[in-house]
Amino acid sequence: MADVKFPEGFLWGGAIAANQSEGAHLAGGKGLTTVDMIPYGENRMPIKLGLRNSVELDQTEYYPSHQAIDFYHRYKEDIAMLAEMGFKVFRMSIAWSRIFPNGDEETPNQAGIDFYRSIFEECKKYDIEPLVTLCHFDVPMHLVNEYGSWRNRKMISFFERYARTCFEAFDGLVKYWLTFNEINILLASPFSGAGLMFQEGENKDQIKYQAAHHELVASALVTKIAHEINPNNQVGCMLAGGNFYPYSCKPEDVFTAMQKDRENLFFIDVQSRGYYPSYAQKVFNDKNVVLDIHEEDHEILKHTVDFISFSYYASRCASADMNEGNTSEANVVKSIKNPHLPASDWGWVIDPQGLRITMNTLYDRYQKPLFLVENGLGAKDVIEANGEINDNYRIDYLREHVEAMKDAIGDGIPLMGYTPWGCIDLVAASTGEMSKRYGFIYVDRDDLGNGTLNRMRKKSFYWYKKVIASNGECLD
Ligand code: BG6
């Protein structure tokens, strides 16, 4: 095969999210969001997964999002370091509750707008294109407590007002937008994913899929608005990606893997094609789900996304007899352990070829440009006596995944860009740890919030700088 190259103008960069980096959780008039209620430690998972029917702050708990890595005060220093690596794009998110602290106000909070405007201007200074997620795991808590979050149809208009405010306020500074981060994660992690909590005896599937419907309508509606406000705006959906492999070639395993993939692709099917997939009705029947779909929703859903963005950390594996006992979780999605693949210290399998497979699946299915907006290895880093951080394991992981992207480009797939996750160390979404690090830039902070917050360049920083400078040619 002829030598495959990354396209000219390929968007190399990195990704973070407000809820895991900004800290300053009440500064500038910001309201509390879902993630601010999720502590570190044993109560984390029950809250995150929506197993509690109410949440309140508890003074005896440590909440990692409240300070995180203090990006709120240090963004200039941080963006300068990203620029030093040669970033062309910087994926970040806006905290909804900085713009609308409660979520249901008529007018936005100017301090929040000013904060993000200043970040985008800083990016512009270095010719870095922002890629902005409107909702990355943070729903204003007032909307959760007052309205039940996305189970309530009113959320569509609150989100519409928020999104319109952002599109107007940052017009000319931002053109790449994502609506909901990893929209499919709401099925596995309803509170962190969509602010959902449940009362005793409720049909959780009914609530989750109704919430999903509201998000899908909201996503399509704001896609339309983004295009109306500026036809140059490009809006993407965002899938927590990674194909399910059948555990064996038993037809039952193959069928189960297909169904598991559909659970996730269901969301993207709607966002990319503009209507519910044919298999959806059977899923709803099986789960006793009856959706409240308004007549106008069908029209709204026709406003589809411009590109398909996705995260890829690991592939997954399914068999017809998967159960609590033989599955584990990577990124809260249950999977059978694949005996052919190594895994990270957190049990997430390492499978670069799975990225090529996932990309082929997505492009075959949607025929829209792809954007890999999260990928990386969560690992513990060690600062050596001479002050160096030699994260060769991270370089190896990323190199293999860049090679897989190249292979996929060779397969004929248009890929817009690559933003590895946590380009600067930040709080892990699953565990709340700081010690699960992804970054090219080390942040001095531990799992309990101790540390100077100083930033240091890792070996991978210099490696990635060369990758970007050579447009993916130099991977040594
Ligand atoms: C994705 C999220 O699920 O995976 C990120 O969009 C998250 O917010 C990332 O941080 C990695 O997961 P974790 O749990 O290692 O932080």
Which atom of ligand 1 lies closest to the CA of 427? 16
| CA–CA gap between residue 206 and residue 236 (Å, rounded) | 26
Q: Is 429 in the pocket of ligand 1 (CB under 6 A)?
A: yes
Instruction: Tell me 133's DSSP state.
Output: E
Q: pLDDT band for 334, please (50, 70, 90 cuts).
A: confident
Q: pLDDT band for 341, please (50, 70, 90 cuts).
A: very high
335 alpha carbon – ligand 1 mean position (Å): 17
For residue 399, count other CB atoms closer than 10 A to its CB: 16
Angle between helices 204-229 and 251-273 (to 10 degrees): 40
Q: What amino acid positions are annotated as catalytic residues?
A: 374
221 alpha carbon – ligand 1 mean position (Å): 26
In a domain, 117, yes or no: yes
240 alpha carbon – ligand 1 mean position (Å): 9
Q: Is 430 in the pocket of ligand 1 (CB under 6 A)?
A: yes
Q: Is 193 in the pocket of ligand 1 (CB under 6 A)?
A: no
| Per-residue pLDDT, 448 | 97
CB-based burial label for 316 (10 Å; 0-12, 13-18, 19+): buried
pTM exceeds 0.95 for this model: yes
Q: CA end-to-end span of the chain, whole Å? A: 21
Query: 3-state class of 93 per DSSP?
Result: strand
**Of 223-237, 321-335, 373-387, where does mean pLDDT reach its minimum?**
321-335
Q: Is 378 in the pocket of ligand 1 (CB under 6 A)?
A: yes
CB-based burial label for 27 (10 Å; 0-12, 13-18, 19+): middle
In a domain, 6, yes or no: no
pLDDT at 332 over 60: yes
Instruction: Write the pLDDT tens digit of every residue in 247-263.
Output: 999 999 999 999 999 99
Q: Which two tokens stand for residue 152?
A: 């309530």
| CA–CA gap between residue 76 and residue 28 (Å, rounded) | 17
Q: Is 344 in the pocket of ligand 1 (CB under 6 A)?
A: no
Q: Which two tokens stand for residue 143?
A: 């909307």
| Per-residue pLDDT, 291 | 98
Instruction: Write the pLDDT tens digit of every residue in 38-47.
Output: 999 999 999 9
Instruction: Write the pLDDT tens digit of every residue in 124-150.
Output: 999 999 999 999 999 999 999 999 999
| Per-residue pLDDT, 322 | 85
Residue 4: name the closest of 464, 465, 402 by CA.
402
* Alpha-carbon distances, residue 55 vs 141, 144, 220, 467 (angstroms): 10, 10, 30, 45
Q: Which two tokens stand for residue 69?
A: 């890595």
Mean pLDDT (the chain, rounded): 97
Q: What is the CATH number of the domain that holds 328?
A: 3.20.20.80
308 alpha carbon – ligand 1 mean position (Å): 18
In a domain, 156, yes or no: yes
| Per-residue pLDDT, 426 | 98
CA atoms within 13 Å, Cβ hemisphere of 195? 28
Q: Residue with the nearest Cα to atom 16 of ligand 1?
A: 428
Evaluated on CA atoms 198, 199, 200, 202, the torsion sign reads negative
| CA–CA gap between residue 194 and residue 332 (Å, rounded) | 14
For residue 99, count other CB atoms closer than 10 A to its CB: 28
| Per-residue pLDDT, 326 | 78
Interior CA angle at 141 toward 138 and 144, to 5°?
100
The answer to whether 311 and 375 are in contact (CB under 8 A) is yes
In a domain, 2, yes or no: no
Q: Is 436 in the pocket of ligand 1 (CB under 6 A)?
A: yes
| Per-residue pLDDT, 1 | 53
Displacement of CA 56 from its chain's centroid (Å): 25
In a domain, 355, yes or no: yes
Domains held by the chain: number: 1
4 alpha carbon – ligand 1 mean position (Å): 30
Q: Which two tokens stand for residue 238?
A: 């965002």
Instruction: Write the pLDDT tens digit of every residue in 371-393.
Output: 999 999 999 999 999 999 999 99
Q: Is 309 in the pocket of ligand 1 (CB under 6 A)?
A: no
| Per-residue pLDDT, 107 | 98
Q: In a mutational test of the pocket of ligand 1, which residue from 69, 421, 424 has the highest number of ligand atoms less than 8 Å from its CB?
A: 421
- Average pLDDT for residues 315-322, to the nearest whole number? 93
Q: For residue 285, what are the domain limits? A: 11-469
Q: Which residue blocks in 274-340 are alpha helix, DSSP H?
A: 280-286, 295-301
| Per-residue pLDDT, 328 | 74
183 alpha carbon – ligand 1 mean position (Å): 13
Q: Residue with the nearest Cα to atom 5 of ligand 1?
A: 429
In a domain, 210, yes or no: yes
Instruction: Write the pLDDT tens digit of every residue in 54-108.
Output: 999 999 999 999 999 999 999 999 999 999 999 999 999 999 999 999 999 999 9
In a domain, 3, yes or no: no
Q: Residue with the nearest Cα to atom 10 of ligand 1?
A: 429
